[in-house]
Structure 1
Amino acid sequence: MPRSGNETTCLFGPVRSRRLGHSLGIDLLKFKTCTLDCAFCECGRTTQLTDTRQVFIPTEKVLQELDNFFVTQDAPEVLTFSGGGEPTLAKNLGALIRQIKRRYPSYKLCLLTNSTLLPNPQVRAEILPVDIIIPSLNAVSPKTFNQINRPLDGLTPAPIMDGLLELKKNYTGQLLLEIFIVPGVNDGEAELAKLRDFAAQLQPDGIQLNSLDRRGAEAWVQPVSAENMQKIKEIFKDFNTNYYLKR
């Protein structure tokens, strides 16, 4: 789990991740700062809804915490930018990626992102050195997108999709598209077909189909049944839906 708003450290874990192995989380934000207020978010409601990038935690503090961690802890397999909000809102993300790559070259870097800032060319350029990027897209239709993700005013799926496609043109790492399934909202054939068609354009290395594991921000969001998830996987049968980190 990412750190809570009461913690001063920016690190959390390491945790055992099915996708990533032994992963140490790096949370660069003030809890809970995001461009979206997703109904399914297991971190709760967004309290700072914004698309303004700023430095929340100084670069040197993050690097010092990593230095201290590696003195006393077993080495994780992956360092993952994630947490209680959207990591690309951190204005020093690019600087940290460069510094971590230089100081800890043996570790893979991963970024979990909701994709909303990918229309920004500067953001795309900053994250190119990351080894694994896991962007999410939960709906193509604006109405469905709004119902699930409850975005900041002005955010719509079309520019986000364009940003993903632009990222793919220059990105040489591993790209795994994440789709969170909310029963009764984006699990219908029409919406899933649109997501499948976009995935065919994007051609990610894999697709992660996710469902609620812990209580979400809204009680009406429920997990997908095993039977229905199997049917959804069939819709994405042309993609790798059992993706694991390539080592």
Structure 2
Amino acid sequence: MEIVFGPVDSRRFGRSLGVDLSPSKKQCNFDCVYCELQGAKTMESMQEIVLVDSILQAVQTALRTQKCDVLTLTANGEPTLYPYLYELISNLKDIVPESMKILVLTNGSLLWKKEVQDSLMLVDIVKFSCDSLESQAFKRIDRPHTSLNLAQIEQGIREFCQRFNGEIVSEVLFVKGINDTKEQARQIARFLSTLQGLKRVDIGSIDRPPAYKVEAVSDEKLKELASYFYAYDNLCISLPRRSQNKAEENLSLQTYDTNGLIGLIKRRPLSTLDAQKILDSKTLALLDELCQKKIVKQCSVGENIFYQIVG
């Protein structure tokens, strides 16, 4: 797979160029039930590591032709597992234009580690997940590696927020029958309200094809759960919804070959609306061909239809 992918249209951060720190396979210390990637055994450290120079070269090449709002460090898994994170981000700061922010998407599980904190001090935006603070629900929804401790994760998030001077965003994702009680919502809201420098809380549910057979909460339930967060005046709450407006963004249309298109969809199942907004006519024809060959299929999640890799 390619290291750099996109750009993609992010509802929360604008036009985003993705950098995959684990392009060859899923490497994560969580195996979340709602993950866009297929389920996989959790791991404490990365087994397959891409060289820093390879990542930097891929980013430099992409930046010659792409203008984006953010450079998003993510992974087929958890980016903070990458062992050379500080070196990578230090060098990225030298090649990424000042107009472009560096964003890290993390599950928050390793924010208690000093080396992870030190690395993330160099970026502009950190978004971490916080799906449950109740032990059994945490294990059911995030399916963490046995080395992880929920209390340590909670304390690590608190310590990181105290140190970080950039933009901090938290995401809470509710899954039907697992973490969707009012008690859990209140517990998460109470914790997030105590964090220093938290700019925004994104509250949502499943809106892409999940790794396991789980269901989204209803819109009415989601609004009810969000009400417990609105109770705290210092929390800025967002309930992002996927736009139905094809003309919402005037994006430059992207061209992909077969491997690039398959790689993009593996990382981020693509809605039919997103495909029309970001892919050129040649790539849309290729996408239709992949569907006919049953390499790609369509599936429905809520009101939206997504392209997903078969198998």
For normalisation by structure 2, the TM-score amounts to: 0.72
Secondary structure in 1 aligned to 2:192?
helix
Q: Choose the corresponding residue for 1:88, options 63, 80, 92.
A: 80
Secondary structure in structure 1 of the residue aligned to 2:211: coil
In 2, Cα distance between equivalents of 1:15 and 1:136: 20
SS state of the match for residue 238, structure 2?
coil
Counterpart position of 1:212:
206
Q: Distance in 2 between matches of 1:108 and 1:55?
A: 27
**For 1:4-19, what aligned pairs fall within 5 Å after superposition?**
7=1, 9-19=2-12
CA deviations 1:45-86 (Å, max 9, x no partner) are 024x21225671111111111111122x23111000113200
The Cα offsets for residues 91-121 of structure 1, whole Å up to 9 and x where unpaired, read as: 1111111111112241200000011111211
Pairwise CA distance, 1:156: 2.5
Structure 1: distance between partners of 2:122 and 2:93: 8
Give 1:4's aligned residue.
none
Larger radius of gyration: 2
Offset of residue 243 of structure 1: 8.3
Letter in 2 for 1:92: Y
Supply the distance in 2 between the matched residues of 1:242 and 1:186 (Cα, whole angstroms). 19
Partner residue in 2 for 1:223: 216
Q: Partner of 2:126 in structure 1?
A: 133
1:60 corresponding residue in structure 2: 53
Q: Which residue of 2 aligns with 1:242?
A: 238
Q: Secondary structure of the equivalent of 2:191?
A: helix
Q: Residues 88 and 123 of structure 1 are in contact (CA less than 8 Å); yes or no, is this contact kept in structure 2?
A: yes
Equivalent in 192, 195, 210 of residue 202 of structure 1: 195
Q: Mean Cα displacement is larger for which, 29-38 or 52-61?
A: 52-61
Aligned to 2:39, which of 21, 34, 45?
45
CA offsets 1:138-160 (integer angstroms, 9 cap, x no match): 11011110011111113122110
Structure 1 runs of 4+ with >3 Å offset: none
CA distance in 1, matches of 2:190, 2:159: 17
Structure 1 gaps of 5+ residues are: 1-6
Is this contact kept in 2: 1:142–1:156, CA < 8 A?
no
Q: Give 1:161 shift.
A: 0.7
Q: Does 1:35 align with 2:29?
A: yes
Partner of 2:179: helix, strand, or coil?
coil
Find 1:122's aligned residue among 115, 121, 129: 115
In the TM superposition, 1:137-176 aligns within 5 A as 137-176=130-169
SS at match of 1:138: coil
Partner of 2:66: 74
- Quote the Cα distance in structure 2 between the aligned partners of 1:242 and 1:97: 28
1:10-35 CA-to-partner distances (Å, cap 9, x unmatched) read 11110011111000111111421000
Identical-residue share of aligned pairs (%)? 31
Q: Displacement of 1:126 after TM fit?
A: 0.9
Distance in 2 (CA, whole Å) between partners of 1:94 and 1:243 is 32
Amino acid in the other structure paired with 2:112: P
Where structure 2 has 5 or more consecutive residues not aligned to the other structure, the ranges are: 241-311
Mapped partners of 1:229, 1:118: distance in 2 = 27
Q: Is the 8 A contact 2:26 2:77 kept in 1?
A: yes
Q: What residue number does 1:3 align with?
A: none
Q: Kindly indicate whether the alpha-carbon contact (under 8 Å) linking 2:162 and 2:195 is maintained by their aligned counterparts in 1.
A: no
**Alignment check: 8 A CA contact 2:132 2:184 kept:** yes
Please give the alpha-carbon distance, in whole angstroms, between the structure 1 residues aligned to 2:203 and 2:107. 14
| Aligned partner letter, 2:79 | P
Aligned residue type for 1:35? N
Structure 1 match to 2:101? 108
RMSD: 1.6
